[in-house]
Protein backbone atom coordinates (compact mmCIF):
# COMPACT_ATOMS: atom_id res chain seq x y z
CA UNK A 1 0.00 0.00 0.00
CA UNK A 2 1.22 3.47 -0.93
CA UNK A 3 0.16 6.67 0.82
CA UNK A 4 -0.20 9.63 -1.53
CA UNK A 5 -0.58 13.30 -0.66
CA UNK A 6 -1.64 15.76 -3.37
CA UNK A 7 -1.54 19.49 -2.59
CA UNK A 8 -3.06 21.49 -5.46
CA UNK A 9 -2.18 25.06 -4.55
CA UNK A 10 -3.05 28.31 -6.27
CA UNK A 11 0.18 28.39 -8.28
CA UNK A 12 1.99 25.08 -7.69
CA UNK A 13 0.97 21.47 -7.15
CA UNK A 14 2.97 19.20 -4.88
CA UNK A 15 2.85 15.40 -4.86
CA UNK A 16 4.32 13.06 -2.25
CA UNK A 17 4.29 9.25 -2.11
CA UNK A 18 5.17 7.55 1.18
CA UNK A 19 5.84 3.85 1.65
CA UNK A 20 3.80 1.67 3.98
CA UNK A 21 6.42 0.44 6.43
CA UNK A 22 8.07 3.78 7.23
CA UNK A 23 7.30 7.42 6.56
CA UNK A 24 9.90 7.51 3.81
CA UNK A 25 9.39 9.50 0.61
CA UNK A 26 9.41 7.23 -2.43
CA UNK A 27 8.45 9.89 -4.99
CA UNK A 28 7.93 13.65 -5.08
CA UNK A 29 6.75 16.00 -7.80
CA UNK A 30 6.46 19.78 -8.10
CA UNK A 31 4.55 21.24 -11.05
CA UNK A 32 2.62 24.41 -11.97
CA UNK A 33 -1.08 24.15 -11.17
CA UNK A 34 -2.08 25.92 -14.39
CA UNK A 35 -5.54 27.27 -15.09
CA UNK A 36 -7.46 24.02 -14.46
CA UNK A 37 -7.17 22.02 -11.24
CA UNK A 38 -9.01 19.15 -12.93
CA UNK A 39 -6.40 18.93 -15.68
CA UNK A 40 -3.65 19.14 -13.08
CA UNK A 41 -5.24 16.29 -11.11
CA UNK A 42 -5.36 14.21 -14.30
CA UNK A 43 -1.66 14.92 -14.94
CA UNK A 44 -0.83 13.85 -11.39
CA UNK A 45 -2.73 10.58 -11.88
CA UNK A 46 -0.79 9.91 -15.09
CA UNK A 47 2.50 10.42 -13.25
CA UNK A 48 1.38 8.11 -10.44
CA UNK A 49 0.49 5.41 -12.98
CA UNK A 50 3.98 5.76 -14.51
CA UNK A 51 5.32 4.86 -11.06
CA UNK A 52 2.98 1.88 -10.82
CA UNK A 53 0.72 3.60 -8.29
CA UNK A 54 -3.05 3.50 -8.80
CA UNK A 55 -6.16 4.19 -6.71
CA UNK A 56 -6.36 0.42 -6.21
CA UNK A 57 -2.98 0.06 -4.43
CA UNK A 58 -2.79 3.47 -2.73
CA UNK A 59 -4.66 5.64 -0.25
CA UNK A 60 -4.82 9.11 -1.79
CA UNK A 61 -5.47 12.29 0.19
CA UNK A 62 -5.98 15.67 -1.49
CA UNK A 63 -5.60 19.15 -0.05
CA UNK A 64 -5.11 22.75 -1.20
CA UNK A 65 -7.31 25.06 -3.25
CA UNK A 66 -7.95 22.39 -5.86
CA UNK A 67 -8.56 19.48 -3.49
CA UNK A 68 -12.18 19.05 -4.65
CA UNK A 69 -10.91 18.54 -8.22
CA UNK A 70 -9.28 15.17 -7.45
CA UNK A 71 -12.06 12.62 -8.18
CA UNK A 72 -9.86 9.63 -7.36
CA UNK A 73 -8.92 10.86 -3.85
CA UNK A 74 -10.00 8.65 -0.95
CA UNK A 75 -10.01 11.60 1.44
CA UNK A 76 -10.05 15.40 1.23
CA UNK A 77 -8.53 17.51 4.04
CA UNK A 78 -8.16 21.29 4.50
CA UNK A 79 -4.75 22.82 3.87
CA UNK A 80 -4.49 24.15 7.44
CA UNK A 81 -4.70 20.64 8.90
CA UNK A 82 -2.31 19.21 6.30
CA UNK A 83 0.28 21.98 6.62
CA UNK A 84 0.13 21.60 10.39
CA UNK A 85 0.74 17.85 10.22
CA UNK A 86 3.43 18.12 7.56
CA UNK A 87 5.22 20.98 9.32
CA UNK A 88 5.20 19.04 12.58
CA UNK A 89 6.73 16.02 10.86
CA UNK A 90 9.46 18.09 9.21
CA UNK A 91 10.22 19.82 12.53
CA UNK A 92 10.96 16.44 14.12
CA UNK A 93 7.49 16.30 15.71
CA UNK A 94 8.28 19.29 17.92
CA UNK A 95 5.62 21.96 18.50
CA UNK A 96 6.21 25.23 16.65
CA UNK A 97 4.46 28.02 14.77
CA UNK A 98 4.42 27.39 11.04
CA UNK A 99 4.85 30.28 8.62
CA UNK A 100 3.55 29.14 5.24
CA UNK A 101 4.20 31.71 2.49
CA UNK A 102 2.20 30.43 -0.46
CA UNK A 103 1.56 31.73 -3.93
CA UNK A 104 -1.57 33.70 -3.07
CA UNK A 105 -1.77 33.69 0.74
CA UNK A 106 0.27 33.46 3.90
CA UNK A 107 -0.78 31.25 6.81
CA UNK A 108 0.44 31.30 10.41
CA UNK A 109 -0.36 28.01 12.19
CA UNK A 110 0.44 27.33 15.84
CA UNK A 111 0.87 23.72 16.95
CA UNK A 112 0.45 22.58 20.55
CA UNK A 113 0.79 18.98 21.68
CA UNK A 114 1.07 18.02 18.02
CA UNK A 115 -2.28 19.54 17.05
CA UNK A 116 -3.34 22.77 15.35
CA UNK A 117 -4.19 25.13 18.20
CA UNK A 118 -4.87 28.27 16.18
CA UNK A 119 -4.22 29.84 12.80
CA UNK A 120 -4.59 33.08 10.84
CA UNK A 121 -4.39 33.92 7.14
CA UNK A 122 -3.65 37.17 5.37
CA UNK A 123 -6.36 39.11 3.56
CA UNK A 124 -7.19 38.64 -0.11
CA UNK A 125 -4.43 40.97 -1.32
CA UNK A 126 -1.40 39.07 -2.65
CA UNK A 127 1.08 41.46 -0.99
CA UNK A 128 3.35 39.48 1.29
CA UNK A 129 3.07 36.28 -0.77
CA UNK A 130 5.03 34.37 -3.38
CA UNK A 131 3.06 35.98 -6.18
CA UNK A 132 4.02 39.43 -4.87
CA UNK A 133 7.73 38.56 -4.97
CA UNK A 134 7.38 37.01 -8.43
CA UNK A 135 5.84 40.24 -9.78
CA UNK A 136 8.55 42.37 -8.16
CA UNK A 137 11.32 40.10 -9.47
CA UNK A 138 9.90 40.39 -13.01
CA UNK A 139 9.78 44.18 -12.62
CA UNK A 140 13.46 44.15 -11.64
CA UNK A 141 14.30 41.75 -14.47
CA UNK A 142 15.68 39.01 -12.20
CA UNK A 143 14.68 35.51 -11.12
CA UNK A 144 13.30 34.64 -7.68
CA UNK A 145 16.66 33.11 -6.76
CA UNK A 146 18.54 36.22 -7.89
CA UNK A 147 16.35 38.65 -5.96
CA UNK A 148 17.42 37.11 -2.63
CA UNK A 149 21.09 37.40 -3.60
CA UNK A 150 20.60 41.05 -4.55
CA UNK A 151 18.68 41.76 -1.34
CA UNK A 152 21.51 40.38 0.77
CA UNK A 153 23.87 42.99 -0.74
CA UNK A 154 21.53 45.97 -0.49
CA UNK A 155 20.40 48.62 1.96
CA UNK A 156 16.69 48.54 2.60
CA UNK A 157 14.41 51.00 0.85
CA UNK A 158 10.98 51.09 2.44
CA UNK A 159 8.19 49.92 0.11
CA UNK A 160 5.25 51.75 1.63
CA UNK A 161 2.39 50.56 -0.62
CA UNK A 162 0.27 47.76 0.84
CA UNK A 163 -1.27 46.87 -2.54
CA UNK A 164 0.71 44.78 -5.05
CA UNK A 165 -0.28 47.01 -7.97
CA UNK A 166 0.77 50.22 -6.21
CA UNK A 167 3.93 48.56 -4.88
CA UNK A 168 4.89 47.62 -8.44
CA UNK A 169 4.41 51.26 -9.50
CA UNK A 170 6.55 52.32 -6.55
CA UNK A 171 9.33 49.93 -7.61
CA UNK A 172 9.15 51.22 -11.20
CA UNK A 173 9.54 54.78 -9.88
CA UNK A 174 12.55 53.75 -7.79
CA UNK A 175 14.14 52.17 -10.86
CA UNK A 176 13.46 55.34 -12.85
CA UNK A 177 15.11 57.41 -10.12
CA UNK A 178 18.28 55.36 -10.44
CA UNK A 179 18.12 53.62 -7.07
CA UNK A 180 20.39 50.55 -6.87
CA UNK A 181 18.72 47.29 -7.80
CA UNK A 182 20.17 45.68 -4.66
CA UNK A 183 18.50 48.28 -2.40
CA UNK A 184 15.14 47.87 -4.13
CA UNK A 185 15.37 44.06 -3.85
CA UNK A 186 16.16 44.41 -0.14
CA UNK A 187 13.11 46.62 0.32
CA UNK A 188 10.86 44.21 -1.58
CA UNK A 189 11.92 41.12 0.41
CA UNK A 190 11.75 42.95 3.72
CA UNK A 191 8.26 44.20 2.91
CA UNK A 192 7.20 40.52 2.90
CA UNK A 193 9.04 39.94 6.17
CA UNK A 194 7.25 42.93 7.71
CA UNK A 195 3.84 41.64 6.59
CA UNK A 196 4.60 38.20 8.07
CA UNK A 197 5.69 39.87 11.31
CA UNK A 198 2.45 41.87 11.45
CA UNK A 199 0.41 38.72 10.81
CA UNK A 200 2.26 36.89 13.59
CA UNK A 201 1.47 39.81 15.91
CA UNK A 202 -2.24 39.57 15.11
CA UNK A 203 -2.04 35.85 15.69
CA UNK A 204 -0.27 36.28 19.06
CA UNK A 205 2.08 33.45 18.15
CA UNK A 206 3.71 32.45 21.44
CA UNK A 207 5.96 29.64 20.19
CA UNK A 208 9.67 29.71 20.89
CA UNK A 209 10.40 28.33 17.42
CA UNK A 210 9.01 29.13 13.97
CA UNK A 211 9.14 26.82 10.95
CA UNK A 212 9.04 28.21 7.40
CA UNK A 213 7.19 26.27 4.70
CA UNK A 214 6.26 27.17 1.13
CA UNK A 215 8.32 28.22 -1.85
CA UNK A 216 10.88 30.24 0.13
CA UNK A 217 11.85 27.35 2.41
CA UNK A 218 15.33 27.03 0.91
CA UNK A 219 16.12 30.75 1.15
CA UNK A 220 18.67 31.30 3.92
CA UNK A 221 18.22 35.04 3.53
CA UNK A 222 14.46 34.87 4.10
CA UNK A 223 14.91 32.72 7.22
CA UNK A 224 17.59 35.07 8.55
CA UNK A 225 15.45 38.17 8.01
CA UNK A 226 12.44 36.53 9.67
CA UNK A 227 14.62 35.54 12.63
CA UNK A 228 15.88 39.09 12.92
CA UNK A 229 12.36 40.52 12.89
CA UNK A 230 10.66 37.92 15.08
CA UNK A 231 13.61 37.59 17.47
CA UNK A 232 12.99 33.84 17.53
CA UNK A 233 14.66 30.93 15.71
CA UNK A 234 13.19 30.22 12.26
CA UNK A 235 13.89 26.71 10.99
CA UNK A 236 13.11 25.15 7.65
CA UNK A 237 13.83 22.10 5.52
CA UNK A 238 14.47 21.55 1.78
CA UNK A 239 11.26 19.49 1.70
CA UNK A 240 9.19 22.18 3.44
CA UNK A 241 7.60 23.26 0.15
CA UNK A 242 5.91 19.83 0.23
CA UNK A 243 4.58 20.26 3.79
CA UNK A 244 0.92 20.21 2.73
CA UNK A 245 1.35 17.10 0.58
CA UNK A 246 3.40 15.34 3.28
CA UNK A 247 0.74 16.15 5.86
CA UNK A 248 -1.98 14.83 3.53
CA UNK A 249 -0.12 11.55 3.00
CA UNK A 250 0.50 11.14 6.75
CA UNK A 251 -3.15 11.83 7.58
CA UNK A 252 -4.17 9.28 4.97
CA UNK A 253 -1.88 6.72 6.56
CA UNK A 254 -3.32 7.54 9.98
CA UNK A 255 -6.81 7.03 8.56
Domain positions in the chain: 2-83+243-254, 94-236
CB 217 within 8 A of CB 90: no
Fold of 94-236: Nucleotidyltransferase; domain 5 (3.30.420)
Task: Indicate the CATH number of 2-83+243-254 among 3.20.10.10, 3.40.50.150, 3.30.420.40, 3.40.50.720.
Answer: 3.30.420.40
Which pLDDT band, with edges at 50, 70 and 90, does 140 fall under? very high
The pLDDT of residue 22: 80
The pLDDT of residue 127: 59
Which pLDDT band, with edges at 50, 70 and 90, does 129 fall under? confident
The C-alpha atoms of residue 107 and residue 243 are separated, in whole angstroms, by: 13
Q: What is the pLDDT of residues 44-61, one digit of tens each?
A: 999 999 999 999 999 999
Given a cut of 70, is residue 42 above it in pLDDT?
yes
Q: Global pTM? A: 0.91
> Which of 26-35, 83-92, 164-173 bottoms out in mean pLDDT, i.e. has the lowest?
164-173
Average pLDDT, the chain: 91
The pLDDT of residue 201: 87
Given a cut of 80, is residue 124 above it in pLDDT?
no
Average pLDDT on 167-186 reads: 92
- Common-topology check for domains 2-83+243-254 and 94-236: yes
Amino acid sequence: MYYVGIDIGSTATKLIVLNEAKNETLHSLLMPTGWSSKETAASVLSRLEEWGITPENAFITATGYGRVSVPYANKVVTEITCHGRGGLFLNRNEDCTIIDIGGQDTKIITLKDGMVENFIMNDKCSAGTGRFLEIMANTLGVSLEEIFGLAAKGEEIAISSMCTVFAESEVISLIGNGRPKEDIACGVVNSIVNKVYTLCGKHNAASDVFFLTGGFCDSFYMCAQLEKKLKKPVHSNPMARYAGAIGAALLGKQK
